[in-house]
Structures are given as C-alpha cells and as structure tokens.
Structure 1
Amino acid sequence: MKHFALLLAGCALSAAPALAQTEGPGGIRSSTDYPSGSSGHDSRNTGFGIKGGFTASHFRGDDKKNYSDEGVYNTFHAGVYTQYGFSDKFSIQPELLYSRQGFAGNNGLPNSQGQTINGAYNTRLDYLQVPVLLVYNFLDNVSVHVGPQVSLLTKVRENGVERKIASDKDTYDYHSLDYGLAAGLEARVGPARIGGRYVAGFQDIIKNPRTTAAQGLDNIKNGAFQVYVGLGIAR
C-alpha cells in the first residue's frame, strides 16, 4: 500500500502539466473557464479523482502525560474523492481513504503475547476513513476544507505483531470506530491538486481497560497531519 500511495503521487505530478494545458469543449477546463455562479455539473467544483500522500500521526488526550518517549508515527494514506459544486465558491467533497496511523512511545503495559513493552515501541492502526468536507474557494484556485470524519479500525499491530482489536485475554481493547473533525487547505493547477489538513479524532483509541495500569492510559485520541497530491479524473 505504501508503494501504491507513492504511485498516486507520481501520477498526479507527472500528468498535471499535460492535462492543465488541455482546454476547450472536449478537454479538461481550468477553474477560470467556468462562468461565475455556475453550479451542479457546470461547476469547476464537480468531479472525482484519486489522491494520496504522507501522514504524520500522533496521539492526544488527558492520559498522554502517562506515556513516555512519545514520537510521531510517519506513514501514508491513499484513496478516492468525489466533489459536487453548489456554486463557483462552495462545494461538498466526500472521500474514501485507507489511512495508516498510530503512535510511538512507552507505556510499560504487556502486549497480547504477555510481553511487557518497555523502551521504544510503536502501535500501528489501519483505518478506512470517510471525511465529508465543505469546500470554500476563497481564491480562484485555493480552497479551505472542513468537515466531519468517521473512521473504521481494520487492523492493529503492536511492535510489528498483529493483535485483535478486542479480546478478553488482553489488558485492554481498541475502539473499532473513531469520529472527528478534518480541516485544511488545498491548491489546484488544472486537474492536479496539492493540500494539507489536520485530523483530530474525538473517540478514545483504547477502551475497556482491565488493569489499574491500563486505566491510566485509556484517554488518548488520534491526531494526524496529512499532506497529499491528487488528480481529477473527471470534472
């Protein structure tokens, strides 16, 4: 999947110059080719495409202070988006993303194999994410994005070892569903786009702590910076 995200980025960057020069009724139009106030299928903000990029993931919350050696988990995300314009300024953009997130640190708790995790370690959390973003073009080709996001946890790996999301044998479980808020900026050149956003999760990552030690570590939440490139397939 990491190679897939890099491939998306390469395709977007390599195809952008050629596609951006294509104009007219049979080609892909730039934003200035649309009449002011256009909406629906005549809007510059209507279409779909692919996107992918870099994610710097971490955790936040009241129990963050109980972890030591905190570090950023550098990873990636990739997926598809669709966009429907209400006007030349406003549109709505749902997305479906595969996002690998997680965090690094030390909590001294045993993992699912009964081994105590001391020293540096990392936790990998794989999500399917569905952000639904309100897009506002405050400049011709620059927009602000903000909206809710729902995420489904599909896989957990602790120090490279896959573990169940929920198990009676572990000292704690993981919430399979996360929800939060995404906000960021995006710039476009023809069909290509580049942007960045921050995603804040509101759901605790860990649930059902079964030991006293685990109860002091369950109030942590996802946080991630995402930088991406995208390519519009149809507009």
Structure 2
Amino acid sequence: MKHVALLLAGCALSATALAQTPTEAPRVSGLRSSTDYAPGTGSDSRNNGFGIKGGFTAANFRGDDKKNFGNEGIYNTFHAGVYAQFGFNDKFSIQPEVLYSRQGFKGDNPASTSQTGTYTTRLDYVQVPVLLVYNFLDNVSVHVGPQVSLLTKVKEGDRERKIADENDTYGYSYNSLDYGLAAGVEARVGPARVGGRYTAGFADIIQDQNLAKTGNTAITNIKNGMFQVYLGIGISN
C-alpha cells in the first residue's frame, strides 16, 4: 500500500502542475482546454462526452491467505476500453466505463497441482466501473465509485484453466464475478486525459477449495488489487 500511496501522490502532483499552466499561454491549434468548454450540462460542456482509454496495470493480490503463497510479486500488464461522461454541473459528473483488464499476480501457489515453482496467474476481466467525478481544479478531477468485473479467462503459468467447476481435478476453482471500489485522480489537456487509479476487489478470487486435495493449505481468502496509469482521448468533448 505504501507504493500505491506514493504513486497516487505523484499523479496528484503532476496533475496539479498541469492545471497551473498559465491560461494566457498559446495553445496548439485545434486543441481545446477545459476552460474553452461551456459550463453546465449542455452538449458543449467539458463534463459530457465519450472516448477511448488504455494504459499500464500493476496487479497483485491481498487477503489473509496471501501469506500462504511464496515469492509473490507484481504482475505488470495492461488495460483498455471506452468511457462516457455525463455532467450534473460544472463540478460533478458520472463516468461509466467498459474495460478489458488483464490482471492477476505472481507467486508460488502451494495448492496448485498444475504448476510448480513461481509463475504468473493471469486473470482476464471485463470491468464496468461507474465513477463519480469531481473537478476540484479546472483541469484536474478526482473520481471514485463501484466496479463490477466478469472473469473471462484464467491462465496459471503456461496452463489455461476453466473458470468454474474445476474442483474435481485441481481442488479449487475461480470466482467468475468480482466487485470492488475504484478511486483516483485525472488531469485533462485539451481532448487528452491522463490519470492514475487504484482498484480494490472485494470478492475472493478462488472459491470452492477442497482442502483434502490441496494439502490443507488455505488459498481462498485472496482478492484482487491493482494500480492503473492510463491515457485517454476524447472523441466527443
């Protein structure tokens, strides 16, 4: 969590620096700053529109059973998707997104019968966060909100796993649904936006564990955690 806090602090400082760029400086032809947009909730408001986004993900896991994994570490990967934004007023808006997020963790799973040693557990999700956005500076906002994720693919090292009902073979299965909370900070420069976000999953990654088959080692109480850095481009506003 110390690394996450430092990264978020760095994003906030960078975003503030961007927001304090003198307004009288000439801007690149064709680009609009947020102050060029009409206030309120109209079609020309900076708080309305849609676009694409993507970037880097540093994923790991957390929970009481994390201690049962050896050599655990960060899985560096990516995410990408689309967003829409609907303004309530100059300060507040709602922003739903649909993202493809590759995440997971590195470690030595003491219950795995399909892999040995340290390897990467890859978890591919379709995520739908719904974020409340607050513009605390002209070009800088914070966002927070719930997120629901559907697991579409699991890969342990070089072996692909089915998502559910693998208990008879491996002694445990993966939960197809995750839900959690996302929070972060974002800066906007013309149609571009850059930000950082931390997402904490609340559902257990692994479910239906058969302790008799996994050496009586508990691995069910582990949850997703990830930090994302992204770049977005507005197609409309």
Contact 2:38/2:46 (8 A) holds in 1: no
SS at match of 1:22: coil
Q: Which residue of 1 aligns with 2:122?
A: 124
Aligned: 1:149 with 2:147: yes
Q: Which residue of 1 aligns with 2:29?
A: 21
The Cα shift of 1:107 comes to: 2.2
Aligned: 1:93 with 2:112: no
From 61, 70, 82, the counterpart of 1:68: 70
Q: Which residue of 1 aligns with 2:190?
A: 190
Q: Which residue of 2 aligns with 1:30?
A: 33
| In structure 1, C-alpha distance between the alignment counterparts of 2:192 and 2:158, rounded to whole Å | 35
Report the number of matched residues.
207
Report the identity percentage: 69
SS at match of 1:64: helix
Contact 1:78/1:98 (8 A) holds in 2: yes
SS at match of 2:202: strand
Closer, same or farther in 2 for the Cα pair 1:51/1:20, shift >3 Å? farther
Q: Counterpart of 1:224 in structure 2: which amino acid?
A: M
| In structure 1, C-alpha distance between the alignment counterparts of 2:217 and 2:117, rounded to whole Å | 20
Moved more, 144-153 or 99-108: 99-108
Closer, same or farther in 2 for the Cα pair 1:195/1:202, shift >3 Å? same
Contact 1:93/1:132 (8 A) holds in 2: yes
Q: When the two structures are superposed, what TM-score results if normalisation uses the length of structure 2?
A: 0.83
Q: Counterpart of 1:159 in structure 2: which amino acid?
A: G
- Structure 1 segments unaligned to the other structure (5+ residues): 1-18, 24-28
Q: Which residue of 2 aligns with 1:5?
A: none
- Structure 2 segments unaligned to the other structure (5+ residues): 1-26
Q: When the two structures are superposed, what TM-score results if normalisation uses the length of structure 1?
A: 0.84
| In structure 2, C-alpha distance between the alignment counterparts of 1:42 and 1:110, rounded to whole Å | 54
- The CA RMSD over aligned residues, in Å, is 1.6
Q: Which residue of 1 aligns with 2:58?
A: 56
Contact 1:20/1:189 (8 A) holds in 2: no
| In structure 1, C-alpha distance between the alignment counterparts of 2:42 and 2:133, rounded to whole Å | 14
| In structure 1, C-alpha distance between the alignment counterparts of 2:160 and 2:216, rounded to whole Å | 19
The Cα shift of 1:39 comes to: 1.5
Moved more, 162-171 or 206-215: 206-215
Aligned: 1:80 with 2:78: no
